[in-house]
Amino acid sequence: MTDAKNLTQLGKHVETPQSPEQAVLEAVPFQRGDGPPAIVRFTCPEFTSLCPVTGQPDFAHIVIDYAPDEMLVESKSLKLFMTSFRNHGAFHEECTVMIGRRIVEVTKPLWLRVGGYWFPRGGIPIDVFWQTGAPPKDVWLPDTGVAPYRGRG
């Protein structure tokens, strides 16, 4: 059983952080084992942030794939981190890359990619992709399952 005594949010009442900078992203130990690395996917189909110019909400479908090494993202802390963007004013590109970099900082995975599929504003969707490098050899990496432009499907 995983020792969770160092976690500050799991199993506790925690207020939603007011910004991504205030959000505490936590990790738990992981034993990888032999063979190709596992790919872990988190999908956030209702991600929201604020336009830094107008203050209006922006919406995205975020897909995070990563190959953990020794640490896993603790999912409650990830949910709180993702929710903290609701009050955060930043462009699509900054939000998407910030998500990937914070997870890398906390978990130091073998590999990570994040896809931000942003809903159109002004008729133009902006999809943002960031990854740490080439995926590990011999991993099964499924398609993200998100249409590049949701207006077509």
87-139: pLDDT as tens digits: 999 999 999 999 999 999 999 999 999 999 999 888 888 999 999 999 999 99
Query: Does 73 count as an annotated binding residue?
Result: yes
Provide the CATH number for the domain formed by 22-131 in this structure. 3.30.1130.10
Among 3, 34, 44, 51, the active-site one is 51
Identity at 140, one-letter amino acid code: W
pLDDT tens, position by position, 47-99? 999 999 999 999 999 999 999 999 999 999 999 999 999 999 999 999 999 99
Known catalytic residue: 138?
Answer: no
pLDDT number for residue 77:
96
| 47/106 Cα distance (integer angstroms) | 21
21 annotated as ligand-binding: no
Q: Is 105 annotated as a binding residue?
A: no
**Quick one: which of 135, 132, 61 has its CA closest to 95?**
61
Q: Is 95 marked active-site?
A: no
- In this structure, the dihedral spanned by the alpha carbons of residues 10, 15, 18 and 21, taken in order and rounded to 10 degrees, is -30
